[in-house]
Amino acid sequence: MWPVFAFGYLVWIVATTSSFKTCVATQTIAETPHALSLANRVAIYSRCGGHVMYEYREAATAVATAFIALFTLTLWWSTRNLWNVTRIEAEHIPRVERAYVSGGATGIEGSPEHFAITVDNYGKTPAFIGTIWANIVPEDELPDTPVYDQPEFGWFSGQMLKPDTSGHPVVTRLWDVIEGRVIYGRIWYRDIFKQCHSAGFILRILGPGRTIAVANRDAYWEDRDEPDLGPAGEPPNS
């Protein structure tokens, strides 16, 4: 919008100069003003405007240069804003469209001392499941920060998990049927944007096939970005 105002301002400056007024008066002196046709007026104003622009050509060049600089600055600013919007959208898409995996545990019918580790994908796209790590320990022995470095409790899935897949059992853990136990673990996975993540869980065992989420253990529930697919680097030999 500002180029229109700038052009109008430039026209106003030219039209108010003494040179422009003198030129118009000189070319219309032989004519009755109200008898001039619109075409003649436009022609006279155009010639006189060109005359003034040529007379003040250095000043006109400076003004034009200033307008070009201002236009370039405006174009840069608009392009920068557009780039920022595009960048934000590009960062937003993976967060919205990627897989979101969670873990848990459920009882196994006919085997009360076993719990199956479940993996859910409540995101919009598939997830490649890496390490599934889980262990059953006494709750009073839990550290504040979970440790997942014991390789014997990790299993590499190597499977794709479709979106909106819930309760997909893949691994079992043996409970010693002693009270005061918890089952905790973490699922490593990769989304379709080639980014790795992990999701943790911790559940208190109430009895055969019965668990409840353990509160006030944020580090165990934390969703994290990861550099890889977890400690179980290779799938098990079958």
What's the pLDDT at 31? Answer: 59
Residue type, 225: D
Question: DSSP state, 193?
Answer: T
What's the pLDDT tens digit per position in 178-204? 999 999 999 999 999 999 999 999 999
The CA-based dihedral angle spanning residues 171, 175, 180, 182, taken in that order and rounded to the nearest 10 degrees: -10
CB atoms within 10 A of CB 28: 16
Name every residue whose Cβ is closer than 8 Å to that of residue 172 and which is 6 or more positions away in sequence: 108, 114, 115, 116, 117
CB atoms within 10 A of CB 221: 19
Largest CA distance in the chain: 117
Which CATH number among 2.40.30, 2.60.40, 2.40.160, 3.40.1130 corresponds to the domain 101-226?
2.60.40
Alpha-carbon gap, residue 134 to 144, rounded angstroms? 17
What's the pLDDT at 150? Answer: 84
| Residue ranges per structural domain of the chain | 2-96, 101-226
- Residue ranges, the chain, pLDDT below 70: 1-21, 24-25, 27, 29-42, 44-45, 51-60, 62-63, 85-94, 233-238
What's the pLDDT at 9? Answer: 47
Reported as type and span, the H/E element at residue 52 is helix 38-55
Instruction: Give Cα 66 to chain centroid, integer Å.
Output: 38
